[in-house]
Amino acid sequence: MKDVLNFIDGRYVSGTSGKTFANRSPVTGDVISLVHEAGKAEVDAAVRAARAALDGPWGSMPLPERAALLHRVADEINRRFDDFLDAEVADTGKPVSLASHIDIPRGAANFKIFADMIKNVPTEAFEMTDPSDGGRVLNYGVRVPKGVIAVVSPWNLPLLLMTWKVGPALACGNTVVVKPSEETPTTAALLGEVMNACGVPPGVYNVVHGFGPDSAGEFLTRHPGVDGITFTGETSTGTAIMKAAADGVRAVSFEMGGKNAGIVFADADFDKAVAGIARAAFVNCGQVCLGTERVYVERPIFDKFVAALKAKAEALKIGAPSDPDTGLGPLISHTHRDKVLSYYRKAVEEGATVVTGGGVPDMPEALAGGAWIQPTIWTGLSDDAAVVREEIFGPCCHIRPFDTEEEAIRLANDTDYGLATTVWTQNLSRAHRVAGKIDVGIAWVNSWFLRDLRTAFGGAKQSGIGREGGVHSLEFYTELRNVCVKL
């Protein structure tokens, strides 16, 4: 049985408590590894190692050398592409075709992108006159690392979203302690081998495994040696972390839940809109924070759209990750499937029309133990129904007709969340107008999941605090110090 260890100060270590937990395949339900849980002692050791590296070789490393080192990290991930791909697919169950084109390439690229960016970010400079004697004074800004950063990352895009935080944190000169999801611990641990192979000083990158309350997650976010906390995950977890961060007034950057709306106008390119909404609702088995679970379609094309999306859902092949024809993998776990199925039942109880899906598919014997579920579409629910209000995080959506642009905007904004939206129309003026009125961090027009990594990414309302991406990431991972010089 494979062991997944904590990575602290450049070494792999088990927990002093001796506790382990099973990491199960979402595809078969079999135990694929035993993960060693970090206790308070391991978390403290990781934070102390991060502090020592910050005060030592990493903190004194010139920026060009640090950037070159992060380029080597990216190259080494790509050299070991198959190892990372195998680990990611084993943990998540997602199709190889998806992970090989998105998760691993982007996971590696995050190091190069931010290493290059930090070398070219300007600050500011102001010349003034000293009112006391008329002498010249120069003020200029200097970016300095924030310090030791706690990185709490999710299970849906484990490597990509973890390096989306670790990349800019290290580029800016910080050190990190990563707490990956207990569901997907392997690639975070594997990255320690890459760090050592590339010569990253011990303590710069650390990984502690475990759960949230009374485990590694709580121990890390409450640790007084942590200077900032970045988190992607559920809003309820973010709320708990924010309370922990209040002690010591630590900075936080949160990307949290979403109940994202897709708006399809009658003048949209119909085929592209159907394909786009299908992808937004079902890719990665619906386990994407940016996914579309609420779809609003202008009434003249409503019935046609529902029928077309139904056909798309039913055409998805549910199967093993290794099958190149697989379009839908399993959910992350049986526990999560129980949650999603509870919403499937609730939709029926609240009067939904089940257009397609609504249950568990029949699978071959070899896959019968996996967390499989059917892609599901509903119509006919009221705007206050649970599946319209609450994030499900599964391959499902509710479709509702609308009659006017104003109604579509009102419906899209009728949520506690504000992460993303997607608008489908060929009317350019309408596209700009509607996108600008939806209370979200990112609004796509005639596209979905299309990202320029230089742009701001984050959520409004209960979907998050702060922004990541480009210089916006650098703003969180650095402190801007003003230097005032009397000339």
Dist. CA 454–CA 29, nearest whole Å? 39
Q: What is the pLDDT of residues 225-279, one digit of tens each?
A: 999 999 999 999 999 999 999 999 999 999 999 999 999 999 999 999 999 999 9
Residue 225 lies in a domain: yes
Residue 274 lies in a domain: yes
Annotated catalytic, 255?
Answer: yes
Annotated catalytic, 218?
Answer: no
Dist. CA 381–CA 348, nearest whole Å? 9
Q: What is the pLDDT of residues 318-351, one digit of tens each?
A: 999 999 999 999 999 999 999 999 999 999 999 9
Q: Is the domain of 232 the same as that of 287?
A: no
Q: Is the domain of 225 the same as that of 289?
A: no
Q: Is the domain of 198 the same as that of 306?
A: no
Say which of 198, 285, 289, 397 is annotated catalytic.
289
The tokens of 459 are what?
A: 């959520």
Tally of CA atoms within 13 A in the half-sphere of 88 that contains its CB? 32
Count how many domains the chain has.
2
Q: Is the domain of 204 the same as that of 290?
A: no
Residue 59: other Cβ atoms inside 10 A:
18
Q: Is the domain of 65 the same as that of 204?
A: yes
Q: Is the domain of 167 the same as that of 281?
A: no
Residue 458 lies in a domain: no
Q: Is the domain of 213 the same as that of 297?
A: no
Residues present in the chain in total: 487
pLDDT at position 239 is 94
Helix and strand numbers (H, E) in the chain are: 16, 23
Q: Is the domain of 289 the same as that of 419?
A: yes
Residue 457 lies in a domain: no
Residue 34 lies in a domain: yes
Q: Phi first, then psi: what are they for 355, rounded to 5°?
A: -70, -40
Percentage of the chain lying above the pLDDT 90 cut: 97
Residue 192 lies in a domain: yes
Q: What is the pLDDT of residues 1-15, one digit of tens each?
A: 799 999 999 999 998
Dist. CA 209–CA 212, nearest whole Å? 10
Q: Is the domain of 411 the same as that of 470?
A: no
pLDDT at position 16 is 84
The tokens of 107 are what?
A: 């996971």
The tokens of 53 are what?
A: 């590296």
- Whether the pLDDT of residue 124 is over 90: the answer is yes
Residue 19 lies in a domain: yes
CATH of the domain at 418: 3.40.309.10
Q: Residue 422 forms beta bridges with which residues? A: 262, 444
Say which of 37, 255, 298, 475 is annotated catalytic.
255
Residues 205, 54 contacting (CB under 8 angstroms) = no
Q: Residue 445 forms beta bridges with which residues? A: 423
Residue 416 lies in a domain: yes
Q: Is the domain of 116 the same as that of 252?
A: yes
CATH of the domain at 27: 3.40.605.10
- Whether the pLDDT of residue 405 is over 90: the answer is yes
Q: Is the domain of 17 the same as that of 111?
A: yes
Domain that holds residue 223: 2-256+463-486
Q: Is the domain of 472 the same as that of 447?
A: no
